[in-house]
Structure 1
Amino acid sequence: MSTIVFSIRCLIAAVLFSSVVAAAEAKPLPPYKDALFGYPEILREEDGGDFRVVGYQELRDINGRDQIPERRVKRAYVSLGVKSSQANETLDLGGRSIDVTRVGRDRGAAFTVIFIHGRGGDRRLGANDFSFGGNFNRLKNLTVGSGGIYYAPSVRSFDAAGVADIAALIRFAAERSGNRPVVLSCASMGSFICWAISRDQQATAMLSGMMVMGGVADPAFQESAAYKSRLPMFFSHGSNDSVYPAEVQIALYRSLKDKGYPTRFVLFETGSHGTPVRMTDWRDALNWILER
């Protein structure tokens, strides 16, 4: 083989390899209705922008946004074409039967987002286009528009069995995507699932980040596999949350930040327990995680 032919073959191999690497890297999510879903007012920033206090007003952010308050958002906030990429499925994952709503390609996704609901919910909560100010519809469109996949599973229990179900879903999503980024997001009581997953070394190794929205704090997080691997942690919380006090979650954030841990916190001033699910800017949070 001549030196010229060998060099050409090496060049082609290098180009093909770089293309594969580029395809495996999740690109930043482009803007999508940012004027409607971006944070309405930043009252204060600390830690170089990693701690934000965002203004929240019920008259503006619920009554002014919803056609029927807390039940149906105004039409401008939703784009329903994404429903053509949506399906309800029952996955058999190693003998574990899990009901999910899937939105996006089921193989080769650029990234995966999994949303865990709280007590009393099921997969319908995370798939509802019109509730929570249309925030899940935006997440669907952001995900599908960027070549990703979104799973909203029904969590049957918040104990070891439920944790095992979600660990199996994480593994399934990672394998189907070719080990591209997987982000686990948990709201309210669903945060028990996130914290338990953080102790699972195998599941944590398949994650690129974790989001806890209006959830309980884990005082033992610094003993977890997620902490040891420096898994990026994003928190959002309402300052008037009467279920899980914001101060406890802020204290956890501060303890992590003091050690240089990759973490962010968005506090909705006067927001209640459900405010983070409605108001968290998915594009901002996911891009921060994917950039890590």
Structure 2
Amino acid sequence: MKQLFTLLIFLLAVQVKAQDKIITVDSDTIECKVMERGSDAVSYVLFSDLSGPAKTIKYTQIHKIIMQSGAETEFTALNKPKVRTINGVPEEEVKKQNDEYAYWNRHAFRLSYGMSMGLVYSGTDWNKDVFVSYSIGLTPRKYLKFTLGWGHSADLKRSLGWEYWGDYRTFSSSITYRYVWVNRPKLRVFSGLGIGYLDTEAMMSDLVFNPSPLDYKFGSKEQVVREFNEFYGYSGILPDIELIGLEYVFREHWLIGSKLGYSTSGMATLGIGYSF
């Protein structure tokens, strides 16, 4: 009698665990109890809620039905997995070639904040800059970059025995063709060549004659003003030459970068950027 009771408990447990399965064309598994097979759809109740309402699914959405008895019926082939492409290159192919073209160009827009130094408009002083750029990939290592920039610098200067406060504001735009020499998941090294336009507004204030023991040359007020306008007030077309530059990614969207060259952004730049 005890053995019969144990066998009954076992059969009930098997019955509880037994269930039908519907495999969809997207490879999803529905654990259920099949109620009825119609001409174009199947009705079922979820195994997790056998007392719940019946649901239906069309045969065109079903790949296979596996009954609790083990019988299988196949209806429709599985959908091909969607191939994710980045700039037209399959992601798996990109990974296979160990080429980070997809990583760098997935987010074409970038907002950057940094500093630049250049003899064109700020002498040897650092300028604070904000840049917005947009990149278009051409090949895994070549792309075009369109950039708009705004800069500002203000500091105390000395010239010919005179002391004054200089305020510099810049607007720049450029288009640059870049070639990436080193392309790694976290690091890339590049060079570039292009053309840009720079508009500079330079203002002088609080000009006073205040000679220093270190001054070895003196001049008139008019001479100081003239040299200031000639040196800092440049506006016009400039080449955009990136001799060498590097960018390092320290998070998925964040990077830090620096470059040396001659361009609307100066002779040297250092900044942080966010791609989105």
Q: Which TM-score applies when normalising by structure 2?
A: 0.18
Q: Which structure would you say has the larger RCO, counting Cα contacts within 8 Å and 6 or more residues apart? A: 1
Give the structure-1-normalised TM-score.
Answer: 0.17
Structure with more of its chain in strand, by fraction: 2
Normalized per residue, the structure richer in helix is 1
Higher Rg: 2
